[in-house]
Amino acid sequence: MISRHQRIVFWSLVGCILAMGALLFGERQHARDRIVALADATPLDAPYSTTESVTLDLANDADGSITATTRPIALPGEVTARARALLEHLIAEYSLPGSTHPLQSGAAVDDVFLLPLPLVGHSANTSALIASTDPNALQPQTPGGELAVINLRSTFVNAHPSGVEVESLTLLSIIGTLHTNLPQIEQIRFLVDGQPRETLAGHADLLRTYPSRDTTVQAQPTTEP
Amino acid sequence: MNLAQKSVICLLALATLPCLAQTAASPAQASPAPNHPKPPAPLPPSPFNRTTILLDPAHGGADSGSRISDTLLEKDITLSLAFKLRSLLAARGFTVVMTRDSDAATQADTPTPLTLDDRAGIANRAHPAACLLLHATAAGRGVHLYRSELDPIPYEVNETPWLTAQAAWVTQSQNLQKQLGMALTRAHVPLVFSRASVRPVDSFACPALVVELAPKGSDNSTLTDDGYQQQVARAIAAALVFWQNQAQPPQRLPAVQTPASAPETGAQP
């Protein structure tokens, strides 16, 4: 026969156990909410789509040619991020062992900005957008044409091999790759760390505006018979 | 019909002639022809010295160009090749103008270094039959020949913009490129020819090419090999002998033109 005193102790202990379990469950929920609230939800990487077939215009120093080559690459959907990723993949190809146009590995492109043509600005007194009255201002060839401003990293430019051919091939490779994959780009300008620079590595002009075009037929190698 | 009647008819016929003439002219007056401006009369061509060749050994002084190896600099190779070319061209009766004939490229009688625009200025004042910008590189093989990336225009417009002065000469530069290409191929020198935007070639008002000397094989030291440089220089000099009779300066037009008759500008804005 269990005494009344023992029954009270028993049920008190059961009550304590249940209360303790409820307390622990509540605390666990609070802790999880706190961790979720503290977690950094900032998007760190551009949302990538599935792998797709992308054409890269690859240069060859031996014969000065540029060949369109297809690679399976996952690219982001947003256009400027896509352009930057394209160029990073292109430069990464050149840093692989056995590259026909060897360049130093590492990040080459800081940013790519796409500006609709013709370029417009704000007038001094109003907030209205006005087009430039300069007859030499950049004009689109087709409606929706864009100017791509490629901001290269100085670490890439300073380490770039010097020479007319090797520098021209790098620029033509970039121009051709953008032309093939982003046809809305009509003109291309280059900056280095946000500043204009005269040449890539002493030869190829970085101050001019390059028309976006197919560069695969640019080189016409003629070797000895 | 008597004589008086014939006279009256003749007088009436004579009187109607001006009216007929006026009637014939009236349709043109009613709907005037589109206002096509008369194309401007071409100017006399620029002076053109068929026996003058400009050599521009690139870089110099503090600007050493590309570093081929620890002891080999681009500026030294370009100067060495220029000396060889100068000798061969002078032997063939050419007058050779060089933008530099020592390590540093400086302005006359001053230590001020030449800018790229100064080099183009020297070329444009000489009115040569060919301008060769000499470069050297460790990348690739043989000789790389480049002409300007500007789109060609058929006329040289007076007061041409400095940055597109080459546009009127691009066709001539292309012909010179073919001529040199054939000569180098005959000399068994590996060859690449293409277009490139290398300053200051777009400001040259003459048939202009960038001639980049690369190693003969995989060994960079062939760049300083006298035999190799001589082989290249001989081929170029031989081609220029033929070129001096083929070069044709473009027609010049006055600067003041209507937009309709103005030739298109080059690719460079």
Task: For B90-134, write each residue's pLDDT tens digit.
Answer: 999 999 999 998 888 777 777 788 888 899 999 999 999 999 999
Is residue A101 located within the same domain as residue A163? yes
Of residues B228, B203, B244, the one with CA closest to residue B56? B203
Give domain status of residue A168, yes or no. Answer: yes
CATH T-level fold of B50-253? Aminopeptidase (3.40.630)
The answer to the question of residue A223 being in a domain is: no
Are A129 and A186 found together in one domain? yes
Q: Are residues A31 and A108 in the same domain?
A: no
Q: Are residues A61 and A104 in the same domain?
A: yes
pLDDT at B130: 95
Kind and range of the H or E run holding A122: strand A120-122
Write out the residue range of the structural domain in which residue A164 sits. 48-211
Contact yes or no for B132/B55 (Cβ under 8 A): yes
Distance of CA B226 to the CA centre of its chain: 30
B72 in contact with A at a CB cutoff of 8 Å?
no
Task: Give B61's pLDDT tier (boundaries 50, 70, 90).
Answer: confident
Question: Would you say residue A81 lies in a domain?
Answer: yes
Higher pLDDT, B80 or B162: B80
- Secondary structure letter of residue A21 according to DSSP: H
Whole-number pLDDT of residue B35: 55
Q: Are residues A90 and A118 in the same domain?
A: yes
Which of B132, B162, B199 to mutate to test binding with chain A, by most A CBs within 10 Å of its CB?
B199
A220 lies in a domain?
Answer: no
Structure confidence at residue B19 (pLDDT): 42
- Asked if residue A89 and residue A160 are part of one domain, the reply reads yes
Say yes or no: A65 and A37 in one domain: no
CB B159 within 8 A of CB B256: no
Do A138 and A170 fall within a single domain? yes
pLDDT at B55 over 70: yes
Cβ-contact B198, B210 below 8 angstroms? yes
Residue of chain A nearest B59, judged by CA positions: A202
Q: Specify if A217 maps to a domain.
A: no
Asked whether residue B21 carries a pLDDT value surpassing 60, the answer given is: no
Secondary element (H or E) of residue A221: strand A220-222
CB-based contact A62 B181, cutoff 8 Å: no
Please indicate whether, in this complex, the C-beta atoms of A218 and B195 are within 8 angstroms of each other: yes
Asked if the structure places residue A1 within a domain, the reply is yes
List B residues 136-195 in contact with A (Cβ-Cβ < 8 A): 136-142, 144, 146, 163, 181, 185, 188-195
Instruction: Tell me, yes or no, whether A221 lies in a domain.
Output: no
Token look-up 């220089």 returns: B233
What are the residue ranges spanned by the domains of chain B? 50-253
Number of domains making up chain A: 2
Both structure tokens of B70: 């620890």
Provide the shortest C-alpha distance from residue A165 to chain B (in Å). 7
Digit-by-digit pLDDT tens for chain A (225 residues) are: 788 999 999 999 999 999 999 999 999 999 999 888 877 767 666 666 678 889 999 999 888 889 999 999 888 888 899 999 999 999 999 999 889 899 988 888 999 999 887 776 666 666 666 666 666 666 777 777 889 999 999 999 999 999 999 999 999 999 999 999 999 999 999 999 999 999 999 899 999 889 998 888 655 545 443
- Count CB neighbours of A195 within 10 A: 8
Chain B residue numbers with beta carbons less than 8 Å from the beta carbon of A224 are 142, 185, 188-191
Q: Write out the DSSP string of chain B.
A: --HHHHHHHHHHHHHHHHHHHHHHHHHHHHSPPP-PPPPPPPBPPPP-EEEEEEEEE--BTTB---B-SSS-BHHHHHHHHHHHHHHHHHHTT-EEEES-SSSS-B-TTS-PBPPHHHHHHHHHHH-EEEEEEEEE-SSSSSEEEEE--SPP-SEEETT--GGGGGGGGHHHHHHHHHHHHHHHHHTT--EEEEE--BTTGGG--S-EEEEEE--SSS-GGGGG-HHHHHHHHHHHHHHHHHHHHH--PPEEE-S---TTTSPPP-S--
> What pLDDT was estimated at residue B47?
81
The residue ranking higher by pLDDT, B207 or A218, is: B207
**Same domain, yes or no: A119 and A27:** no
A70 shares a domain with A180: yes
Residue B200 has pLDDT above 60, yes or no: yes
> Nearest Cα to A171, choosing from A208, A146, A138?
A208
What pLDDT does residue B239 have?
96
**A17 and A35 share one domain:** yes
Question: How many beta-carbon contacts under 8 Å exist across A and B?
Answer: 106
Q: How far is A111 from chain B (nearest CA, A)?
A: 23
- In DSSP terms, A115 is beta-bridged to A147
**Distance to chain A for B214, nearest Cα, Å:** 9
Whether A33 and A68 share a structural domain: no
**Mean pLDDT (whole number) for B44-52:** 83
